[in-house]
Structure 1
Amino acid sequence: MIAIIAAQHNPNQNHLLAALPPEIVARLCEHLELISMPLGDVLYESSGPLQHVYFPTTAIVSLHYVMENGASTEIAGVGNEGVVGIAVFMGGNTTPSLATVQTAGYAYRLKKRWMLEEFNRAGGRRLGAVQNLLLRYTQALMTQISQTAVCNRHHSIEQQLCRWLLLTLDRLPSNELTMTQELIASMLGVRREGITEAAGNLQRASLISYRRGHITVLERSGLESRTCECYHVVKKEFHRLLCAVGNR
């Protein structure tokens, strides 16, 4: 069974790994471990030491900040475009955020030792290929985090919901999401009633269909017309920074 599952997955399903030169991917593949990520699985706790980095392929991971009273809000999401655990190669080794699986799926796990060895591999005064790529990804992730803060402060719940749906769709192979309104409200840090009203507006406009924790996007262009500029800022920055690596 394990062999069958492994045959259905490839490291190149993660966009960061796919952007690396083949010889580096071949070197990393000796240490990459394909793992299942069940919904709600905790990859690392707030302020806990990080022992691995994770390259999602079909899973989506949510990065949360948890308040002292237990309330939490998503500050960023990571799917097949990125890597979870940037504190490993940024030198901090711990982070105040909490990483949990938002959408079940698979990822490749890499031990801290091998990540640091590859990250620090450079030639002369030039940045190594892995270092260059991951620093650019980190800048793009910082853009997502800062834009999320701006969006939560200045835009309507409906605009925030559209942004969140679009960013999630970008990481999935289909237009269907398994997600309850309660969980979305927790992600966005708003009341469930606000999500219910916003989702109802989108459903009446025939942009989405919602039933028993399943959301189907019927008209993506309609969501894009209703979202705020935050979605486009984040998407443009990821494209600019990560495509620049391949065009060097």
Structure 2
Amino acid sequence: MKNIENGLIELLPRTDRQRLLAAGGAVDVTLAEVLSQAGEPTRHVYFPMDGFVSLISRVDDHPGLEVGMVGREGMLGVHVALGVPVAPLHAVVQGPGTAFRIAVSPFRRELARSAALQRSLARYVNVLMAQLAGSAACLRFHQIGPRLARWLLMSQDRAQCDHFHMTHEFLAYMLGVRRVGVTAAAGVLQAGGLIEYHRGELRVVNRAGLEAAACSCYLADRRIYGLSIGRAPGPAIDAA
């Protein structure tokens, strides 16, 4: 089997890890693929390896808003570990790649057998709760430019690459703002030499500059992960 490069799985003792891996398998996840829908029964949980998934909240007839992101640092379907059979949020692939997928029944069986997996997921729930709460505060108090820089850094950390395919329409959808606002914010980042953007292809060219431009929520997310679980995805930072 392909080496499973997921932070939560890597934390497991060898025996627990082998049992879990024997119960599922690696799958490709494609751009815009819907992995779960709010209110629907969950059939599989996913441990992303080199792609990432947006957690989207929808209210009435309004467009969805991204409130969280799951990549190789975490797991999609953590509600199953809490005994909840239905998903609370929509989950859509925004960074294509691969993920380790396991059906709910064998996952629950392995969860019951592995105290280490229980501990890791309990800590990851804390990380995810902090990310969801932070996203709400970020939307209320921070401007589009710093929020865009934060989103690009989070995506780069999880995709493990500098290049992305994304349109201004998509970014506006994820950030819950008008397209014109994203266009202006991306233009500022590009003029500052932090990113390059052309016809839907975006490249991060100055990581340090992008970190300086991002709102404080980016480092807050990474610190809570470091304090709860260990080293966050992407460049190492001080978790203190």
The alignment's TM-score, normalised by the length of structure 2, stands at 0.93
SS in 1 for 2:53: strand
**Letter of the aligned partner of 1:219 in structure 2?**
N
**In the alignment, what sits opposite 1:117?**
109
Residue by residue, what CA displacement relative to the aligned partner does 1:100-150 show, whole Å, maximum 9, x if unpaired? 11111111101111211122226xxxxx10000001011101111111111
**In the alignment, what sits opposite 1:3?**
none
Q: Structure 2 CA distance, aligned partners of 1:70 and 1:38?
A: 25
Question: 2:210 pairs with 209, 217, 223, which one?
Answer: 223
SS in 2 for 1:100: strand
SS in 2 for 1:120: helix
Q: Alpha-carbon deviation of 1:28?
A: 1.1
1:168 aligns with 2:160: no
Size of the alignment, in residue pairs? 231
Which residues of 2 match residues 73-92 of structure 1 at below 5 A? 73-92=65-84
Q: Alpha-carbon deviation of 1:36?
A: 1.0
**In the alignment, what sits opposite 1:125?**
none
**Is the radius of gyration larger for structure 1 or structure 2?**
1
The alignment's TM-score, normalised by the length of structure 1, stands at 0.90
**In the alignment, what sits opposite 1:50?**
42
Give the CA RMSD over aligned residues.
1.3
Determine if contact 2:124/2:228 at 8 Å carries over to the other structure.
Answer: yes
SS in 2 for 1:193: helix
Q: Alpha-carbon deviation of 1:227?
A: 1.2
Q: Alpha-carbon deviation of 1:71?
A: 1.1
**In the alignment, what sits opposite 2:95?**
103
Which residues of 2 match residues 146-225 of structure 1 at below 5 A? 146-225=133-212
Q: Alpha-carbon deviation of 1:26?
A: 0.8
**Letter of the aligned partner of 1:34 in structure 2?**
A
Which residues of 2 match residues 6-25 of structure 1 at below 5 A? 9-11=2-4, 13-25=5-17
Determine if contact 1:50/1:87 at 8 Å carries over to the other structure.
Answer: no
**Letter of the aligned partner of 1:160 in structure 2?**
R
Give the share of equivalent positions with the same residue, in percent: 37
Q: Structure 1 CA distance, aligned partners of 2:7 and 2:227?
A: 14
Runs of 4+ in 1 over 4 A off after TM superposition: none
Q: Alpha-carbon deviation of 1:178?
A: 1.4
Structure 1 spans left out of the alignment, 5+ residues: 1-5, 123-127
Determine if contact 2:164/2:203 at 8 Å carries over to the other structure.
Answer: yes
SS in 2 for 1:243: coil
**Letter of the aligned partner of 2:18 in structure 1?**
A
